[in-house]
Copies of this chain bind each other. A is one copy, B any other.
Amino acid sequence: MAHDNKIEGHEAERDRHPAAAEKILDVARDLFYRQGIRAIGVDEIVRTAGVAKPSLYRAFSSKDELAASYLRRYDREFWERFDKAVTAHPGDPRAQILAFLTGVGERTQTPSYRGCGMTNAAVEYPQADHPARKVSEDNKRELRRRLREMARGMGAADADTLGDGLLLLIEGAYISGQLFGAGGPARSVARNAALLIDASVVKPGA
- Seen from chain A, the residues whose Cβ lies within 8 Å of a Cβ on chain B are 34-36, 38-39, 114-115, 119-120, 122-126, 136-137, 140-141, 144, 160-165, 167-176, 178-180, 184-189, 191-192, 195-196, 198-200
Contact = CB atoms under 8 A, between A and B. Distances in A.
Given A168-B168, A168-B172, A168-B186, 10 more contacts: A114-B126, A126-B178, A160-B188, A164-B192, A167-B172, A167-B176, A168-B176, A168-B185, A170-B172, A199-B199
Contacts of A174: 175
A119 B192 CA distance: 21
A37 to B, nearest CB: 9
A165 B195 contact: yes
Contacts of A39: 38, 124, 126
A126 B114 CA distance: 8
